[in-house]
Amino acid sequence: MKSIQLVLLFSNLLLTSFLGLFAQEKEDYLITYDSIIGKENLAVTNGLFHYNNYRINDNKDIYYSSEKYIAGSLNYLGQIYYDLFLKYDAYNDELVYRSSGNSEKTGINLIKSNVNSFKINELNFVNLDKIESENKDFIKGFYEEKIKNNTLSLYIKHSKSKREIFIGKNILVEFSDESEFIVYKDKKFNRITSKKSVINEFPDKKKMINEYYKNNSELKKKNKTLFFTSLFKNISQ
C-alpha cells in the first residue's frame, strides 16, 4: 500500500512540476514549437509575395524604421507568434514576413484582415480596422499604439509620401516620413491636427492644454510624437 502511495505522490509531483514549467515558459515553448514544425508551415505564410522595385535615393525607402527584417511578434487570427522576421511597408501599409533562412529580398505581405497586431522594435502596432467605432471612414490599417487606458487611446499613423528626382539621366525615388495622430475616445476616432482639435475633445482640460502648448512649443517643433504622447498622458491622469 505504501509503495502505491509513493508512486502516486511521485506522479503528482512530476505533473505539478511539468505544469508549472509549462506556464512559466509558455513563450519559449511557442518559439520552440514554431522552429520544430517550421514557420513556413504556419498560417502566417498565407499572403502575396512582397515586391519593392523602386530605385531609391539616399536610403529613403518605403519602410518604417528599417528595410531589414527585425525579430518581432504577431497576433494573427487570434494566435500569437513570437520570434518572427518582420518589417513594415509604411508606403503601402503592409506587414511583410520572411521565413527563417530566406533571403532579405524575399517576403510575404500578410493578409491584413487577419493581422490583429504586431510588435517590432518594442513598438506595438494595431489594426484599427478591427476596433469598433462610430466613425471609421478615415481609419485605414496599422497604427502605432502609444497610449491605451480607460480615458483614451492615442495612435500614430506612420505613412510615406513619394517624389521622383532626376540624377543625371536616372530617375530615382525618395520616400519621406509622415505622421498622423489619432485619439480614440467614447468609441470614436478623431484626428488631432491643432490645439483647437485637442480642446474640442477635452473641453474640461482647456486651461491645462493651453498651458502645455505655451510651455512646450519647442518640443512640438522638434518631436511631435513626444509632444503629443506627453500631452495625452497628462490629459488622461
21: in domain: yes
Closest CA to 108 of 37, 42, 163, 60: 42
Residue 34 C-beta-side C-alpha neighbours within 13 Å: 23
5: in domain: yes
231: in domain: no
213: in domain: no
Average pLDDT over residues 40-58: 82
pLDDT surpassing 50 at residue 172: yes
25: in domain: yes
76: in domain: no
138-165: pLDDT as tens digits? 999 999 999 999 999 999 999 999 999 9
pLDDT surpassing 70 at residue 66: yes
What average pLDDT does the chain have? Answer: 85
19: in domain: yes
The model's pTM is: 0.81
**What is the model's pLDDT at position 39?**
56
Domain count, the chain: 1
Q: 205 falls in which pLDDT band (50, 70, 90)?
A: very high
Residue bearing the bigger pLDDT, 31 or 86? 86
Alpha helices in the chain (DSSP H): 2-24, 26-37, 195-201, 206-215, 217-222, 224-235
- The four Cα atoms 206, 210, 215, 216 give a dihedral, to 10 degrees, of 90
**What does the chain come to in residues?**
237
Residue 116 identity: N
Q: 88 falls in which pLDDT band (50, 70, 90)?
A: very high
Report, in angstroms and rounded to the nearest whole number, the Rg of the chain calculated over CA atoms: 23
Lowest-pLDDT range of 1-10, 101-110, 154-163, 218-227: 1-10
pLDDT surpassing 60 at residue 45: yes
pLDDT surpassing 90 at residue 74: yes
**What is the model's pLDDT at position 228?**
97
8: in domain: yes
**What is the model's pLDDT at position 124?**
97
pLDDT surpassing 90 at residue 226: yes
Closest CA to 90 of 110, 62, 113, 68: 62
**Domain region containing 4:** 1-37
Q: 175 falls in which pLDDT band (50, 70, 90)?
A: very high
Cα 59 from Cα 159, distance rounded (Å):
16
